[in-house]
């Protein structure tokens, strides 16, 4: 039983994000990078499956700049067995389509019964990469999965719970399949000290960008720089939130003032 988890590194949710003067990229100075929280849920689900089955391997697969190695090490410290890392600083700004081509290409070299990933990355709120990967590999995929109910590696099927727009669905898929994970009831484990010490000795196989034949993936060098399918034309911070209005006085007066404001200013009632 082999599970591959797709891992990405994202800015910390508490990081103060600044847009570079080019208006298209984020200024990386002063940003703390973390493992994408939804990918952490995926790792947790993978480790749980491995524990339940009692054997197998959890492999992390990442594609990104050098710094992404911190996220990989964290995943290894949580308990993943080894990692494959398509590593190049030129991969900093590639679009989801190019990333998915690289990941799908590498997945052909890694034995897998199941592929897990986070349901989205929290930096640009994208959910595209894993779906592109599944499409490229012609694998069945289920998105936004809260819970993995059952994995039957013998009969090659998986049953999951997914939630989307108020619906709750139970889906069965054939293995190998790709699942994108939400939190569900999982609390990703903290890496133990022993886990951290062991992580240092675990293998991270590095794949260099130069070793990848872009033509065979239908990509050009330009796709790396400009994006093959999507390009960011402009990036700006959301406008500052307006200050809250606080009503003073006794409760009846406050309620009257609130109702008036809702009707006349906000025009919502």
Partner 1 sequence: MPTQTKTKEGMSFSLNEEQELLKQTIRDFVEKEVKPHAASWDEKEEAPLSTIKKLGELGILGMPIDPKYGGSGLDMLSIALVMEELARGDGSLALTVAAHNGLACGHISNFGSEGQKQKYLPELATGKKLGGWGLTEPGSGSDAASMKTRAIKDGDHWVLNGTKMFITNGSIGETFVILAVTEPEKRQKGISAFIIEKEDKGFKAGKKLLKMGMRSSDTSELILEDVRIPDSRRIGEINKGFINTLMILDKGRISIGALAIGLAQASFEESMKYVNQRETFGKLLKEHDVIRFTLADMAVDIDAARLLIYRAATYACEGKSFTLEASMAKLFSSEMAMRVCNKGIQIHGGYGYIREFPVERYLRDAKLCDIGEGTSEIQRLVISRELFKKYGV
DSSP state for residue 228 in the 8-state scheme:
S
Give me the least distance between CB of 194 and partner 1, in Å please: 5
Give me the least distance between CB of 142 and partner 1, in Å please: 29
- What is the x/- site pattern for partner 1, positions 178-217, by CB under 8 A? ------------xxxxx-xx-xx-----------------
Whole-angstrom distance, CA of residue 164 vs CA of residue 166:
6
Helix (H) / strand (E) containing 85: strand 82-87
DSSP E strand boundaries for 108-257: 114-118, 141-152, 157-164, 167-174, 177-181, 204-208
Q: How many residues belong to the site for partner 1 (CB under 8 A)?
A: 13
Give me the least distance between CB of 14 and partner 1, in Å please: 10
Q: Which residue's CB is nearer to partner 1, number 16 or number 174? A: 16
Give me the least distance between CB of 193 and partner 1, in Å please: 3
- What is the x/- site pattern for partner 1, positions 41-70, by CB under 8 A? -----------------------------x
Copy the structure tokens of residue 159.
């049953």
Buried b (16+ CB within 10 A) or exposed e, 227-248: bbeeeeeeeeeeeeeeeeeeee
Residues 69-88 touching partner 1, rule: CB under 8 A, are 70, 73-74, 77
Note whether 180 and 119 are within 8 A (CB): yes
Q: Which residue's CB is nearer to partner 1, number 91 or number 199? A: 199
Q: Which residue's CB is nearer to partner 1, number 70 or number 172? A: 70
Give me the least distance between CB of 192 and partner 1, in Å please: 5
Note whether 38 and 80 are within 8 A (CB): no
Whole-angstrom distance, CA of residue 12 vs CA of residue 30:
11
* Chain residues that interact with partner 1, rule: CB under 8 A: 70, 73-74, 77, 190-194, 196-197, 199-200
């Amino acid at each position: 039983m082999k599970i591959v988890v797709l891992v990405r590194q994202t800015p910390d949710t508490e990081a103060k994000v600044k847009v570079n003067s080019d208006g298209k990229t984020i200024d990386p100075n002063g940003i703390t990078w973390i493992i994408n929280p939804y990918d952490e849920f995926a790792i947790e689900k993978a480790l749980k499956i491995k524990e339940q089955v009692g054997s197998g391997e959890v492999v992390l697969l990442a594609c990104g700049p050098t710094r992404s190695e911190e996220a990989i090490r964290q995943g290894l410290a949580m308990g993943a067995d080894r990692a494959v890392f398509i590593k190049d600083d030129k991969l900093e700004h590639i679009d989801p389509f190019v990333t998915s081509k690289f990941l799908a290409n590498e997945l052909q070299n890694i034995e897998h019964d199941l592929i897990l990933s986070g349901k989205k990355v929290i930096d640009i709120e994208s959910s595209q990469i894993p779906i592109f990967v599944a499409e490229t590999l012609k694998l069945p995929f289920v998105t936004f999965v809260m819970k993995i109910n059952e994995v039957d590696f013998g009969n090659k099927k998986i049953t999951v719970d997914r939630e989307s727009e108020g619906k709750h669905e139970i889906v069965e898929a054939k293995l190998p399949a790709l699942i994108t994970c939400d939190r569900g009831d999982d609390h990703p484990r903290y890496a133990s000290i022993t886990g951290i010490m062991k992580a240092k000795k675990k293998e991270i196989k590095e794949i260099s960008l130069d070793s990848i034949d872009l033509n065979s993936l239908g990509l050009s060098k330009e796709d790396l720089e400009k994006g093959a399918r999507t390009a960011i034309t402009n990036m700006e911070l959301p406008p500052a939130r307006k200050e809250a209005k606080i009503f003073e006085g006794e409760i009846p007066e406050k309620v009257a003032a609130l109702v008036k404001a809702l009707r006349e200013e906000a025009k919502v009632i």
